[in-house]
Structures are given as C-alpha cells and as structure tokens.
Chain A
Amino acid sequence: MSKKEWPLWEVFIRSKAGLNHKHVGSLRAADATMAIENARDVYTRRSEGISIWVVPSNQVTASDPSDADAFYEPAHSKVYRHPTFYDVPDGISHM
C-alpha cells in the first residue's frame, strides 16, 4: 500500500503560565499554515496554550540512541557538577 501522506510536523505549545514552548506531539499537514491550524484544533482545544510553534519533523536532528553510553553515562559519576556541596548560611531562606 503506497498511500501518499502529508509531511509530519512537530508541535510546541506555550501554556498560559509557561515561559517556554514545550513539545506536545506531532501531526500531519500539507504546509505550515495548515500545520498551525491543525495544531490549534488538535492540541489547544482544552485551553492548553496561548502560542504555537510547528517545525517540520525532518528538520529535527536527533542524537543517536546508540551513542547513549558515550553521551550520557560519563555524567552519572560527576556528582560535583551539582551545586550541592555548599554550606548555606543560616540567614538565607528559600534555597
């Protein structure tokens, strides 16, 4: 079966309280205009957002899962990269 499909788009929504756009999913659309409208219909109908970005999925460059060992493992043993080794003076609140 060779059904021609519209290109895939990744959808990012900024919620009312949110500062940044967050990836919420993907959808199909013939072009950017339609992708924005489809995103509005599919992803904001329960008042999830006030701003939409759409990006063609084929424009996303992703890291290779087989690189996971080299990419992410080494960070596990470097606890000193977290700022948790400081003594917080008594007078400081909200830390």
Chain B
Amino acid sequence: MSATLFEYVLRIGDDSLILGHRLSEWCGRGPILEEDIAMTNIALDLVGQATNLYDYAAEIEGKGRNADQLAFLRFDREYKNLLLVEQPNGDFGMTMMRQFLFDAFRKLFFESLEQSSDHQLRAIASKSLKETKYHLRHSSEWVIRLGDGTEESKIRVQEALDTLWRYTNELFYQDDIDQELIQNGIAPDLNHLRKDWENLVSNVLNEATLEIPNNNWQHQGGRKGFHSEHLGKILAELQYMQRAYPNMEW
C-alpha cells in the first residue's frame, strides 16, 4: 500500500516539476516583461507543488530520502511524469497550448483530489487548486487570443494543438496503482473527469476558433517511465549541479 501511494504521489509531483522546469526555461525570454513574470510565477507555483508532493512522497517511502534527492537524483526511467509536460516549449503559442491542456486537466483533478481520504493529499490539492485556477484562466485567455487573433497567431496555435493533441489521452492513463487507490478512496477515478475535461477544452477551443485534430494516434508511457527523447535533456540541465557537486546547497 505505501509503495503504491509513493508511486502515485511521485507521478503527480513529477508532472509539476517537469512542467515547472519547462516554463522556467522562458525566464528572461518572454515576449514581454509582464508575460515573462507571469510564466515564471506559474513555474514557481509548479515547483512549489512538486516540493510539497516530494516531501510527502519521501515521508511515505521512509528510507531517508528527501525532496531534493527525489527531484535531482533519479534516472530518467524513474520519472513518472506525463509525456505532455516534457514536450519542448516551441513558440509562445505552443507553450500556452501545452499549459492549457494540462491546466484544464489539473483543475478537475485537484477538485476531485480534494475529496481524497488521505488528508495530506487533500491539503496539497486544496492549496494547488487555487494556483491552478489562475493558471487555467491565464492559459485559456491566451489560447483564445492567439486562436482568434491574427492570421499568423491562429496558424501557429492550431499547429501547436495538432502537435500536442496526441499526448492528451495519457492525462487519463490509469493502471493497477490507480485502481488500488481508487478502491481506498485516496485517488479519484480519472474516467469520471474525462467528460468535463472534453467540455472545458472544447468550449475554449471553440471560442478560439481552433479545430480539434482528428488524428487518433495517442502516445503514452510516461507513467511507466518510458519517455520521449526530451526528458533526458531536461534532466541533464536540472540535475547538473547536484551531480557535479553532490549535496551542495545554496
């Protein structure tokens, strides 16, 4: 049971950490100063969520590892994040689309996790939900602005949607780990969120005058540690300091 819960918490934490890291790559490169700050704020929210989740995971594991060790000292196969969050930033439209597809899921997910029988997860969900609502608002508005914007912005953000759509089925991936925790009332059943997610996403995409692609090839593997080529490069940058100077702090 505790091994299952550890794995479950790690999966959620890894989603936050990897997406937070991706967003942090925009730091100093945002299209305007205001948006640069907005994206790094969101990046920090996500890294904060990861910290809370890793702290809890470390406690569950009980082997003396701490949050930093979980964040910085695992190999790529041990990261269990969704493939969506590790996809490259691309242009600003790509980043906002990735964020939007994820935020829409995360909002519904945290709303359900607030009902968990595990009080620590309830607390984390509650805190993270407030942040996520703002993230979703921010990314939705950008998707609408870009989709219903200029000819060029529409083409670019539609391309982003076409590229990223194949990673959205994995948002609802569930296996034995989820099943066990669903039965204990700890984890929400993601099948119940799917309809709401589709509605939420299609409402925004409609307003953005974007079309959901009909390619039905869907990637998965992240939850089992099978990643796209991008994760290794992320980890090389993320882990460099701890690998080069073990146990360093600043």
Q: How far is the CB of B76 from chain A (nearest CB, A)?
A: 32
Which A14-42 residues have C-beta < 8 A from chain B?
A: 27-30, 33-34, 37-38, 40-42
A27 / chain B contacts, CB cutoff of 8 Å: 33-34
Q: Are B34 and A38 in contact (CB under 8 A)?
A: yes
Q: Are A6 and B141 in contact (CB under 8 A)?
A: no
Residue of A nearest to B149 (CB): A30
Interface residue from A37, A41, A42, A45 paired with B141 (Cβ < 8 Å): A37
A41–B37 Cα distance when bound, in Å, is 7
A28–B30 Cα distance when bound, in Å, is 13
Q: Are B38 and A38 in contact (CB under 8 A)?
A: yes
A27–B30 Cα distance when bound, in Å, is 15
Q: Are B32 and A6 in contact (CB under 8 A)?
A: yes
Residue among B34, B38, B138, B145 with the highest chain A CB neighbour number at 10 A: B34
A interface footprint on B4-33 (CB within 8 Å = 1, 0 otherwise): 000000000000000000000000000011
Q: Are B145 and A42 in contact (CB under 8 A)?
A: no
Contact A29 to B41, CB < 8 A, known contacts A34-B141, A37-B138, A37-B141: no
Residue of A nearest to B137 (CB): A37
Task: Say whether chain B's binding surface is mostly helix, strand, loop, or mixed.
Answer: helix
A30–B153 Cα distance when bound, in Å, is 15
Q: How far is the CB of A46 from chain B (nearest CB, A)?
A: 11
B41 / chain A contacts, CB cutoff of 8 Å: 41, 45
Q: Are A41 and B38 in contact (CB under 8 A)?
A: yes
Q: How far is the CB of A89 from chain B (nearest CB, A)?
A: 54
A27–B32 Cα distance when bound, in Å, is 10
A29–B141 Cα distance when bound, in Å, is 13
Residue of B nearest to A40 (CB): B134
Which B136-150 residues have C-beta < 8 A from chain A?
A: 137-138, 141, 145
A41–B141 Cα distance when bound, in Å, is 15
Interface residue from B37, B138, B145 paired with A30 (Cβ < 8 Å): B145
A3–B249 Cα distance when bound, in Å, is 43
A29 / chain B contacts, CB cutoff of 8 Å: 34
Which B118-149 residues have C-beta < 8 A from chain A?
A: 134, 137-138, 141, 145
B137 / chain A contacts, CB cutoff of 8 Å: 37
A14–B37 Cα distance when bound, in Å, is 21
A42 / chain B contacts, CB cutoff of 8 Å: 33-34, 37
Q: Are A41 and B145 in contact (CB under 8 A)?
A: no
B38 / chain A contacts, CB cutoff of 8 Å: 37-38, 41
Q: Are B145 and A28 in contact (CB under 8 A)?
A: no
Residue of A nearest to B40 (CB): A41
Interface residue from B33, B35, B37, B145 paired with A45 (Cβ < 8 Å): B37
A17–B38 Cα distance when bound, in Å, is 25
Interface residue from B32, B37, B134, B141 paired with A28 (Cβ < 8 Å): B32
A38–B134 Cα distance when bound, in Å, is 12
A interface list, Cβ under 8 A from B: 6, 27-30, 33-34, 37-38, 40-42, 45
